[in-house]
Amino acid sequence: MNDVHQLLFAHRSIRKYTDQAVDKELLRTLVQAGQAAATSSFLQGATVIRVRDPERRERIATLAGNQVHVRTAPEFLVLCADLKRPGSCCEQYNKPFAGDFTEHFIIATVDVALMAQNMVVAAEAAGLGVCYIGGIRNNPREISDLLKLPRGVYPVFGLCLGYPAQDPEVKPRLPLDVVLKEECYSDEGDAQRIAEYDEVVREYYRTRTGGGHGICWSEQVAGLLSEKSRPHMRQFLADQGFTMK
């Protein structure tokens, strides 16, 4: 196992940070590392918004579910899927804009995810801690208005950055054989593997720093998928120009 592998395997979400500022040039380097990620068809359909204003941060934290770390992290970024910028190229070359197809939405959203993960790995390599904030999709219209996002742009998630003031345990992932398949999809033997994994997760939650609820992975996921999840997103995306043709 090399140093890169060890870094990746040690990933944790960090929600408490020291007061140490993140150097501006380091932040720019992290975004450049994000830009180096793969991008489908060279679209480069991601935009990063750095939010520093305390009042704007406070509003985002509230809209994202009152997450304290959005307020307190030394740096907070909002990563957006952006079809406005590449779409303007159509106007420049007198071509019709057909960027409202589902495939274009997927391309831009995947671009954001790939860019963000590059940024996260680069940040952790520099000693920073990170935490993704999907909660900004709780109120995407208000977030978009606050950040003045134009049609063709939507906020995918936020990202807290800073030097860690906590040392949480690494959360165990699914067994590799549940995720890695040979030649075709097969779930043979997965039920037993997942049952064993459930006990690992249950123990993790019981014993992690601060204690926990002792819920297993299967129960947690069942709860997630049995309830409606942000039903407003479809109409919001359509209003932003992502009509999914």
Whether 28 and 127 share a structural domain: yes
pLDDT digits (tens, 9 = 90+) for 32-45: 999 999 999 999 99
Whether 83 and 161 share a structural domain: yes
The pTM of the full predicted model, rounded to 2 decimals, is: 0.94
What pLDDT score was predicted for residue 119? 98
Whether 161 and 183 share a structural domain: no
What would the mean pLDDT of 224-240 be, rounded to a whole number? 94
DSSP string, the chain: --HHHHHHHT--B---B-SPPPPHHHHHHHHHHHHTS--GGG---EEEEEE--HHHHHHHHHHTTS-HHHHHSSEEEEEEEE-HHHHHHHHHTT----TTSHHHHHHHHHHHHHHHHHHHHHHHHTT-EEEEEGGGGGSHHHHHHHHTPPTTEEEEEEEEEE-BS--PPPPPPPPHHHH--SSS---TTHHHHHHHHHHHHHHHHHHSTT------HHHHHHHHHTS---TTHHHHHHHTT----
Q: In the listed set 142, 168, 194, which residue is the last one of a domain according to the structure?
A: 168
Residue 23 has pLDDT above 90, yes or no: yes
Whether 153 and 175 share a structural domain: no
pLDDT digits (tens, 9 = 90+) for 112-167: 999 999 999 999 999 999 999 999 999 999 999 999 999 999 999 999 999 999 99
Mean pLDDT of the chain: 95
What pLDDT score was predicted for residue 26? 98
Per-residue pLDDT band at 210 (split at 50, 70, 90): low
